[in-house]
Amino acid sequence: MAKYTLLVGSAAFMASAAADMAAARRRLLVQAMTFEGDEAGLGVGRSVLASPAADRRVLVDDYTRFVLSDRFVYSPHSLLDADFRAELKATRAMFEAMLEGGVGVRVTNPAGTLLLGFPFRNHKKLIVSDNAAYLGGINFSDHNFAWKDLMLRVDDARITDLLAADFDATFQGRGRSWRARLGDIALYGLDGRDNHQGFGDVFAAIEAARREISVVSPYLTFPFADALARAAARGVEVTLLAPLANNKPTVRDYQVWFCARAGLRLRLTREMIHLKAMVIDEATLVLGSSNFDFVSYRIEEELLAIVSNAELAADFRARVLEPMLADALPDSAAPSDRWRGRRAAVLLGAADSVLGAGLPIPRTSVPWRG
């Protein structure tokens, strides 16, 4: 049976991951959407370079070539900032050093001409080190490390082989959707083209809830919010934990408006969080890279796990959910007026309509070019 370890916060995650990377002999496969040349990212890069694993490879999304520290690389504000330019230079140098050190580095989903492919991100976060694997929401950058988040370490050869196969397919530009069940865990690789099928089991789990659903997500929107509203309507107690200091305030405004209308209990963390997970009836834990939002549902490549393990769910509740709820603020702490939430719902709905228009979604990878 697989062994699960919840690693809450970047410090716990990196202490464990660094040890596994140093111990790897056969393979070390590392993937993130954001991988920056700051203290956090450089630490991961050094661990990759120092690893004695025979097969060392890195996948980073093209997002990192255009956005660092939540700032667009080629904006005048960014280019005039000496510290920002230094981080950009360090990021490029980090990947060049990996290549020179024998690490395979490829970039997922190039944005292409006029950045027309920019929305179609590979959102996965993954480390495979021999027979241990990490999945969850943590990117490799200082600002992501500062946000509350977690990774799940899985110690099981069959599961890590599945995740390694997903990495291999993406590395070769052959990303595809898949799902597998091994014991008490169901794993999903979503390629952004038929995510509604993979997320079907999440909706089924929400539909099967009888007592309680607790969700943590900074960006939760439809269609997941609608499924939670249906659960609340039949008497399930539904709680959403989301950040007051959201780096996407339009999403926060939507959440405040929607939860009030739908009867969901909303609690707001004082600081920005990046953690995304769902506990259902104290027996099932849903987690991975998905933010449970319309972008994830429509177009992003994701890794998702549904773990039917009451012990793991209880650990999440004790070490993550209850401490966050104890320190959270009521929804009244958020700015609110008659039109704010409705305006947010209209804007997000319009974006969803564009993403759902059946646009071709390219999925590929190319060699790193600074």
Q: What is the CATH number of the domain that holds 197?
A: 3.30.870.10
**pLDDT averaged over every residue in the chain:** 95
Report if residue 232 sits inside a domain. Answer: yes
Tell me the mean pLDDT in the region 256-265: 97
How many domains is the chain built from? 2
Report if residue 366 sits inside a domain. Answer: no
Q: Using CA atoms in the order 165, 168, 172, 174, what is the torsion angle rounded to 10 degrees? A: 30
- Same domain, yes or no: 224 and 123: no
- Same domain, yes or no: 328 and 222: yes
Over 80: is that where the pLDDT of 167 sits? Answer: yes
Residue ending a domain, among 147, 176, 205, is 176
Over 90: is that where the pLDDT of 337 sits? Answer: no
Report if residue 360 sits inside a domain. Answer: no
pLDDT band at 78 (very low <50, low <70, confident <90, very high): confident
Report if residue 370 sits inside a domain. Answer: no
- Same domain, yes or no: 167 and 185: no
- Same domain, yes or no: 170 and 198: no
For residue 70, is it left (φ>0), alpha (ψ between -120 and 50) or beta? left
- Same domain, yes or no: 152 and 293: no
- Residues of the chain above pLDDT 70, percent: 100
- Compute the distance between CA of residue 288 and CA of residue 270 in angstroms, rounded to an integer: 23
**Segment 299-315, tens digit of pLDDT:** 999 999 999 999 999 99
Tell me the mean pLDDT in the region 75-91: 88
Over 80: is that where the pLDDT of 359 sits? Answer: no
- Same domain, yes or no: 293 and 165: no
**Segment 8-46, tens digit of pLDDT:** 999 999 999 999 999 999 999 999 999 999 999 999 999
- Token pair, residue 165, equals 């196969």
Over 90: is that where the pLDDT of 285 sits? Answer: yes
- Same domain, yes or no: 118 and 221: no
Residue ending a domain, among 126, 152, 176, is 176
- Same domain, yes or no: 146 and 202: no
Q: Helix H segments across 120-244?
A: 142-146, 157-171, 195-198, 200-208, 224-233
Please report, for residues 90, 109, 137, 288, the alpha-carbon distance to residue 130 in angstroms, rounded to integers and kept in the order given: 29, 26, 21, 20
Please report, for residues 114, 203, 252, 266, 368, the alpha-carbon distance to residue 262 in angstroms, rounded to integers and kept in the order given: 40, 17, 15, 11, 46
Strand partners, 56: 28
Report if residue 330 sits inside a domain. Answer: yes
- Same domain, yes or no: 172 and 183: no
- Same domain, yes or no: 233 and 145: no
- Same domain, yes or no: 15 and 154: yes
- Same domain, yes or no: 38 and 121: yes
For 33, the domain range is: 3-176
- Compute the distance between CA of residue 168 and CA of residue 61 in angstroms, rounded to an integer: 15
Report if residue 365 sits inside a domain. Answer: no
pLDDT band at 74 (very low <50, low <70, confident <90, very high): confident
- Residues of the chain above pLDDT 90, percent: 89
